[in-house]
Amino acid sequence: MADQQICVVGGESLLGRELRDQLAETKFPANIKLAGADEESTGILTLQGTEPVVMTALDEDVLAKSKIVFLTGSEKLSQKVFDFATRSKSKSHLIDLTGGLEDQPSARLRAPSVEPAGFTVDSNAIHVLAHPVSVVLAALLGRVHKKHPLRHAVIVALEPASERGQAGLNELQQQTANLLSFRPLPKDVFDAQISFNLLPRYGEAAPLKLEEIEHRIERHMATLFGKIPMPSLRLVQAPVFHGYSFSIWLEFENSTGADELAEALATAQIEVRGSDLDAPSNVGSVGQGGITIGVIEPDRNHPRAVWIWAVADNFRIVVDDALEIAKQLL
């Protein structure tokens, strides 16, 4: 595999940087090429692992020679790659980490960490990674439902600013600084105050609506869940930089204790923290693979319901699944 070439398109995005870090850390056995997310990011010197590399423009010759092309930039950039692949009848496998090509007829939703054994897609399919919230919930509820049948689940997912890319991080940082110095707040991304605040919806002028993200997550859950009962979901924008947090309420067909639930959930991908350890936090999840859960407690007002707190790194969930797809393809 080491002599095969792969390309990371949009490598300067937050998601692209996480992918590059994992490619380097895992010593992925391929020749890695980087293509910039936009004209401003091309021609700059960056690091791939410990080696200096140049971020090039979108080079059709590089794309044509790449066995796998990871898409981690803007939707516009992903569309350019797709148009080239269609026009040139390229045999490159496209792995879309951002969902920009989700509406293409050949797109197939992927989440290897929760897919059934032997799952396959067409050889010419675009591999579109499922939203990280849908993957986390499929992993957790799937494990639970297999051993303790669920009746219903209600989830509040707290969205980090990094899901809106570098622009989202910058706006949160600038709003915080401006609030403390009594200056006007920038609102290009969220069209609302996000700093020191929780938002159930963005402002009217926001380029992306929070309810649109909820709908996308629900579509992906419908695909991934199979026979697992569909939960009720509310997505809330939190004033944090990285990492998802989840407040999960589970109602079972029969009474289920916290210890039984912890035993059902514990796997290599799911860390269960007991009461003797610090509760999981989104800050602690940054850079960590898998899911961490804790504070598993019965609902004092419902004999068959349990509360769970869970956290996960939003980028690692997607990147780890993308690398698993790449390994399968190579």
Q: Which residue has the higher pLDDT, 247 or 40?
A: 247
Place domain 134-314 in its CATH homologous superfamily. Answer: Dihydrodipicolinate Reductase; domain 2 (3.30.360.10)
CA 330 to chain centre: 23
Distances (CA, A) of 274 to 97, 256, 261, 277, 288: 33, 17, 12, 6, 19
Q: What is the mean pLDDT of residues 144-151?
A: 91
Which tens digits make up the pLDDT trace of 152-181?
Answer: 999 999 999 999 999 999 999 999 999 999
One fold for both 5-129+318-329 and 134-314? no
**Residue 211: what pLDDT?**
95
> Rounded CA gap, 248 and 90, in Å?
44
Determine whether domain 5-129+318-329 maps to CATH 3.40.50.720. Answer: yes
* Stated pTM of the model: 0.90
Q: Which residues pair with 158 in a beta bridge?
A: 236, 245
> Rounded CA gap, 301 and 150, in Å?
18
**Residue 2: what pLDDT?**
56
Q: What is the mean pLDDT of residues 26-36?
A: 82
**Residue 257: what pLDDT?**
82
Angle (nearest 5°) at CA 63 between 60 and 67? 160
Consecutive H or E run containing 326: helix 314-329
* Lowest-confidence segment of 44-53, 145-154, 242-251, 259-268 by average pLDDT: 44-53
Task: Find all residues with CB under 8 Å of 97, minimum gap 6, and list them.
Answer: 15, 19, 70, 71, 72, 129, 318, 319, 322
* Lowest-confidence segment of 41-55, 135-149, 256-270, 311-325 by average pLDDT: 41-55
Distances (CA, A) of 323 to 100, 156, 242: 18, 28, 21
> Rounded CA gap, 229 and 133, in Å?
16
**Residue 59: what pLDDT?**
73
Which tens digits make up the pLDDT trace of 62-92?
Answer: 888 889 999 999 888 899 888 888 888 778 8
Domain ranges of the chain: 5-129+318-329, 134-314
Which tens digits make up the pLDDT trace of 277-317?
Answer: 888 999 999 988 999 998 999 999 998 999 999 999 999 99
**Residue 51: what pLDDT?**
57
Which tens digits make up the pLDDT trace of 194-237?
Answer: 999 999 999 999 999 999 999 999 999 999 998 899 999 999 99
**Residue 26: what pLDDT?**
86
DSSP string, 85-151: HHHHT--PEEEESS-TTTTSTTEEEE-TTTSPTT----TT-EEEEPPHHHHHHHHHHHHHHHHS-EE
**Residue 37: what pLDDT?**
55
**Between 210-224 and 132-147, two packed helices, what is the crossing angle to 10 degrees?**
40
